[in-house]
């Protein structure tokens, strides 16, 4: 019986539950006529939720985003995302990272999006991903210099981070 993993997941979901103000209304993207429901918000063309309340591993991040009827973020514009994060999250500790929805877990060096299953465009990387075993998950990383970058990081539960989810 797998009670402990389920309890761990439930505990994580409770601690990561987004703060939703009842007076916050959905935002509509007029270009695409798509509604972005709270706690998600428009960042460029992407409807995103930033979990920065509790650090969790990549696999728990997948479940968190699904529980919010979304998926791990597949940003359409790297520069817009990084600028938004630089404006809103520059007070975070050094080496803070936010998992995105891509990995090369299935085959080293072949980066794919977890939800859409599409190949990752190499232009999204801030620097070339390392070819090291164990760094198989994409993340936005803050190094304390006021700048964020997209790079590869470990996925396992010994390396927890925050999560960026995207709404369907």
CA 104 to centroid of chain Cα atoms: 16
User: For residue 159, what pLDDT is reported?
Assistant: 85
The reported pLDDT for the residue numbered 23 is 44
State pLDDT tens for residues 94-112: 889 999 999 999 999 999 9
CA distance 3 to 22: 34
pTM of the model: 0.83
With a cut of 50, which residues of the chain have pLDDT below it? Answer: 1-7, 10-11, 14-15, 20-24
Which residues, in sequence order, are bridge partners of residue 165?
A: 49, 72
Question: Under CATH, which architecture does the 3-17+38-167 domain have?
Answer: Roll (3.10)
């Amino acid at each position: 019986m797998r009670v402990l993993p389920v309890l761990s997941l439930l505990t994580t979901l409770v601690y990561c539950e987004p703060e939703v103000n009842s007076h916050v209304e959905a935002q509509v993207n007029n270009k695409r006529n798509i509604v972005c429901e709270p706690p998600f918000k428009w960042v460029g063309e992407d409807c995103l939720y930033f979990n920065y309340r509790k650090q969790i591993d990549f696999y728990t991040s997948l479940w968190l985003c699904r529980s919010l009827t979304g998926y791990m973020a597949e940003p359409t514009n790297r520069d817009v995302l990084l600028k938004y994060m630089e404006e809103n999250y520059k007070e975070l500790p050094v080496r803070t990272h936010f998992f995105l929805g891509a990995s090369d877990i299935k085959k080293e060096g072949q980066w794919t999006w977890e939800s859409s299953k599409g190949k990752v465009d190499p232009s999204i990387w801030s620097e070339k991903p390392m070819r090291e075993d164990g760094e198989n998950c994409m993340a936005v990383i803050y190094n304390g210099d006021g700048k964020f970058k997209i790079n590869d990081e470990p996925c396992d539960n010994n390396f927890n981070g925050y999560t960026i989810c995207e709404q369907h």
